[in-house]
Structure formats: C-alpha cells, structure tokens
Amino acid sequence: MGSEFKIPIIWQDENILVINKPAGLLALPDGYDPTVVHVKEILAPEYGRLWIVHRLDRFTSGVMVLARSAADHRHLNTQFQERQVKKIYLALAHGDPVWDSLIVDQPLTTNKGRRNRTVVDLHGGKPSITHIQVLKRYGSCALVEAVPQTGRRHQIRVHLASLNHPIVCDSLYGSDKTLKFEDIFPTSADQSHFSGPLLDRPALHARALELNHPATGERVVFEAPNPSDLQQSIDVLNAQTG
C-alpha cells in the first residue's frame, strides 16, 4: 500500500511495536472518512495485527506504543488506566511564562462546539493534571516540557492555552496557523533559504514514553527525536538568542 507517510520504528519485539508517529498521520481510523490513512493501515501489511493502546492527535508527532496481541493490549491498557505510564512532551508555547514550573489542575470537558474543542469546565469537567516546566526562553515563546498525569483529549494544548501560553501554530486554541522565519527575525534580509513556514501545525511532540514491558515487567523508556520542522524552529530560535 502506498502512503506519503514513513513510520520510523523505535523498538519491536513479540509483544510491542514502538513507533515515532509522523505529524499529520491519524492514530485511529477517521470516523467520517474511512479512506484517510492511519497508523495500523500502514503498519499491518508488514507487522500483522496490531492493537492501538493510546492515541496522539493527528498533528502531534512522537512516541506511540502498539500491542501485538490482545493480552499485551490488556496489560498496557491497564497501565495507562492506572497512570503507571509516564509521557513526556515537548512544546513551543507563546509568550514568556512568569513561572519556571507549575502543575496545572484544571478539569476538562471534550468535544465542545462544531470544532470539537476541549474546554476547562470547573463544575462538570473530568480531573485533568499536567506538570509543565520551562526548558528555554526566547522572549516571544518558550520551549516547555509537559508531563500529563491524566490523559484527556487535547489536554496539554488546552492547559497551556488556559495559562495564556497557547502552543505555537495551534489555531484551534488561539495561536497563529504558521510560524515563519520573519516572525522570529522581522528585520533580517537572510530569508532566501526559508521558502515556506518553519511550522504549520501545533508545535507539540511526544518525546518519551516510560512503561512496564508487558512480558518482562521491566521498566523501559522509549524516546523519539524531534521531527525536522520542530527542530528547525528550535534551531532558528536558538540562533535568535545567540
């Protein structure tokens, strides 16, 4: 089967398949358009039947684990439900936070409105907690690490937006649709090698996943390098700060 997406394999054995999901690729089949390609559709011809354990948003890149049997799926699913899995994300967030780290404890309600947004709902929302730490400041934005303690839809995106620091290029939650070179260097004439935007999707990447291996019980950590669009944006921002 042909596809524009190439899925890097981080780890494989008889029980699990760990991938670095490209941004733009659906983790699960589209409920409205079954012709849209998704993770299992690409991988199944080579790796056989696979079970989705958790999802990443379509335009979020990074580490995803798939089970290779129903028993492995049950084992991993229990870990996620009991919050035994540690997920670490990197994001570029707008603005310059006044804090270095904090815990966001804001209950969330999903699928609000025609755009299927998630919103903070202090009265009817489900408990949602994210640990956030600033890794580097650029003035106009900051590189942050986000560790969700719960697993609500769009959780990191909504929690950062609730702090008035929406993720760069996350137009669903209050950001511009693209990040261009001139947004970072507005007076520079050296733009010849940047023919398009640096980023045109939310600047969010699932960097690492820590869990117990379903067969051995060993605590294992899987990491995914930054995709080229996010890394290029970080490199340009680093050049700005010297």
Active-site pick, 13, 30, 33, 57: 57
Among all chains, which residue has been given the structure tokens 């400041």? 137
DSSP letters spanning the chain: ---S----EEEE-SSEEEEEEPTT-BSS--SS-TTS-BHHHHHHHHH---EE-S---TT-EEEEEEESSHHHHHHHHHHHHTT--EEEEEEEEES--S-SEEEEE--EEEEETTTTEEEE-TTTPBP-EEEEEEEEE-SSEEEEEEEESS--TTHHHHHHHHTT-PBTT-GGGT--S-B-HHHH-TT-S--TT--S-SBSS--EEEEEEEEE-TTT--EEEEE-PPPHHHHHHHHHHHHHH-
Q: Is 121 a catalytic residue?
A: no
> Which residue's entry shows tokens 């106009």?
140
Catalytic residues: 57
